[in-house]
Amino acid sequence: MAEVLEDGTMAQGREPDRPEIALSWKRSRLNGVDPSTPIVVDSDTDVGGHLLRAAGPVLDGITKEIVDTGVCVFLADRDCRVLASVFSDRTMRRALERLDIVVGSRFGEEDAGTNALGTPIELGRSVIVHGDEHYLEVLKGLSCYGHPIVHPVTRRVEGVLDITGPAGSANPLFAPFLARAVADIEQRLLEGSRASEQRLVDAFHRVSHQRHLAVAAIGADILLSNRAALDLLDTADHASLRSLVGDLGPNQRRRITVELASGAMARVDASRVAGADGGAVFLVEPLHQSKSRIPRSRSATQPPENRLRAQLILARESDDALLLTGEAGSGRTSAAADVVHSCATQWFDATRMPFDGHTHWLDELARAVRQRAEVIVIEHAQLLSDRTLPVVANLIEHSATGPRLILTSSPMHDLPPAVAAVLSRCPARISIPSLRERIAELPELARAILEDHAPGVQLTVSALEALEAAQWPGNLVELRMVLVGAADRRDSNRIDIGALPPDYRTTGKVSRLTGMAKAERQAIITALADCAGNKVHAAHQLGISRSTLYTRMRALDITR
């Protein structure tokens, strides 16, 4: 008779005695696994990855060693999907194929309960599972031993190697046999990683002798520079260069003119190196501009931040009413102060009307006009009431002869129709780009904020890349909050990625995601936060399995 468990579910037989197996059964029940469910098979399993390439020769050797032993060996990826199998004889192969244990079979605990492929991934160590200790009924006739495969460089679990035989056939030599095989696979993973780095080093050495050029090679965990690059490039430049090759394929190149962190212009020739795990080589040539060159308009090619600066300087010379639009926190007030410069100015904030009263607010505005203030600035103009709009419209109309009017507001498309109708009368308008549109300027913005709050403190490349990958809905205000907090928490004059708040600890990989992938990433982060980090509950909230959640977290670089 089936036993009734504490949570009201049913399980065949009695609870397992070993604590690690009992806990695995509990996780299986929490995942909603039915003990009578069959093995799930994925038809689109990737069998061409680096793990299988590293394990291939090892599996070939195992084939000869297990002949006529009545066992088989399975290789699974980190998502617990079977990538390859080796059988001692045809009888064993047919028996397991009848159970749907084939390439593509899913053995994560959320799919197959307690087993020697999924449970080692959960525990991070080798596990043996005998007969009735398996959670699924279809597996209870087997004894299995699984050993995780850990990458020697990244220390990340890459997969699991498992040896399986009939229940009761477990041999004490299984553990050392499998440990040796796993060690061989890990060594081959290390050699593959070294080969990847060596390809990048070789590509760097082929061009690094060009003394008139700054040459840098940037990979996942490697940075090489010749002497010219050490003199020319700043930490911020390394992050900017890496972003140039995010969408390039192996051996593809891109030539582009960029502004370096020092303010100098340079021509960059970027080349992705095939087989170097995303690494690239950069040739950087400074562009020395002639002082006698006649200035000309560069509006078509000028970076957004330079165009904004030029617009603000030009606006200083005008008497026309000016509208500065942009998202909250984008720097509208700073832009208004820049335009005002040294003029005598009266500042008004539409957010104060509910507190001060509309009549008092309008009286103060009228007083500023009578006192002939040079400039009147009205902030948060999107909140102007119907009572104040006619007055503002009149000030706009007479801005050239009376006090100059400068208004700040949210973007035009977000304004109430009545407010938009009035503000659209401003002869001059400047749109302040969001921080998301000024990512190329972020290193300079961050440097200025840190210099103001904590002089001498610098961001590391990894921290800068993480900041460039963030979404910044709060724009410059949010950036300042993050940097000031990180500077206050630092234990040296360098802010590394670990000093940033958890939600900002992403990598450059995230900055290269598509808009849809970034939206998916944010949805997962939100679900994890809502569920206090519980991945089972987060997966349920998102409507996906836990294995899918783990897969997407790795793909989208979510570390929680």
Asked if the model's pLDDT at residue 20 lies above 80, the reply is yes
d(CA 489, CA 479): 15
Give the model's pLDDT for residue 21: 93
Give the model's pLDDT for residue 2: 38
d(CA 406, CA 426): 9
Q: Supply the Cα-derived Rg of the chain in whole angstroms.
A: 32
Query: What is the arithmetic mean of pLDDT over 473-501?
Result: 88
Cβ-based neighbour number of residue 407 at 10 Å: 29
What architecture is the 3-192 domain classified under in CATH? 2-Layer Sandwich (3.30)
Read off the pLDDT band of 552 (50, 70, 90). confident
d(CA 137, CA 132): 8
d(CA 11, CA 136): 9
Asked if the model's pLDDT at residue 294 lies above 60, the reply is no
Give the model's pLDDT for residue 372: 87
Give the model's pLDDT for residue 299: 39
The better pLDDT of the pair 260, 164 is held by 164
Query: What is the arithmetic mean of pLDDT over 220-233?
Result: 83
Asked if the model's pLDDT at residue 542 lies above 90, the reply is no
Asked if the model's pLDDT at residue 8 lies above 60, the reply is no
Asked if the model's pLDDT at residue 227 lies above 90, the reply is no
Read off the pLDDT band of 293 (50, 70, 90). very low
d(CA 447, CA 459): 8
Lowest mean pLDDT among 145-149, 198-202, 519-523: 519-523
Give the model's pLDDT for residue 399: 85
d(CA 421, CA 398): 17
Sign of the dihedral defined by the CA atoms of residues 28, 29, 33, 39, in that order: positive
Beta strands in 338-383 (DSSP E): 345-349, 375-379
Class of domain 208-286: alpha beta
- Classified as helix, coil or strand, 286 is strand
Asked if the model's pLDDT at residue 349 lies above 90, the reply is yes
Q: Which of 335, 352, 346, 334 is nearest to 405 (CA)?
A: 346
Sort residue 32 into left (φ over 0), alpha (ψ -120 to 50) or beta: left
Give the model's pLDDT for residue 511: 56
Query: What is the arithmetic mean of pLDDT over 290-300?
Result: 40
Give the model's pLDDT for residue 4: 35
Query: What is the arithmetic mean of pLDDT over 474-480?
Result: 92
Read off the pLDDT band of 298 (50, 70, 90). very low
What mean pLDDT value characterizes the chain? 84
Helices (H), 78-135: 90-98, 109-112, 118-123
Give the model's pLDDT for residue 513: 63
Give the model's pLDDT for residue 429: 94
146 and 138 Cβ atoms separated by less than 8 Å: no
Read off the pLDDT band of 230 (50, 70, 90). confident
Query: What is the arithmetic mean of pLDDT over 525-532?
Result: 84
Fold match between domain 3-192 and domain 208-286: yes
d(CA 403, CA 530): 51
pLDDT tens string 76-116: 998 899 999 999 988 989 999 999 899 889 999 988 999 99
Asked if the model's pLDDT at residue 471 lies above 90, the reply is no
Asked if the model's pLDDT at residue 302 lies above 60, the reply is no
Q: Which residues pair with 142 in a beta bridge?
A: 166
Q: How many alpha carbons lie under 13 Å from residue 254 in its C-beta half-sphere?
A: 16
Phi then psi for residue 350, to 5 deg, are -65, -20
Read off the pLDDT band of 211 (50, 70, 90). confident
Query: What is the arithmetic mean of pLDDT over 25-29?
Result: 91
Phi then psi for residue 338, to 5 deg, are -65, -40
Best CATH choice for the domain 321-426 from the list 3.40.50.300, 3.20.20.70, 3.40.605.10, 3.30.1490.100: 3.40.50.300
d(CA 13, CA 15): 7
pLDDT tens string 233-263: 887 788 788 878 877 777 888 898 888 877 7
pLDDT tens string 445-464: 898 899 889 888 888 877 88
Q: Which of 185, 228, 203 is nearest to 50 (CA)?
A: 185
CATH fold label, 436-555: Helicase, Ruva Protein; domain 3 (1.10.8)
| SS3 track for 61-89 | HHHHHCCCCCCEEEEEECCCEEEEEEECC
Sign of the dihedral defined by the CA atoms of residues 255, 258, 261, 263, in that order: positive
Domain boundaries, the chain: 3-192, 208-286, 321-426, 436-555
Lowest mean pLDDT among 40-49, 281-290, 475-484, 514-523: 40-49
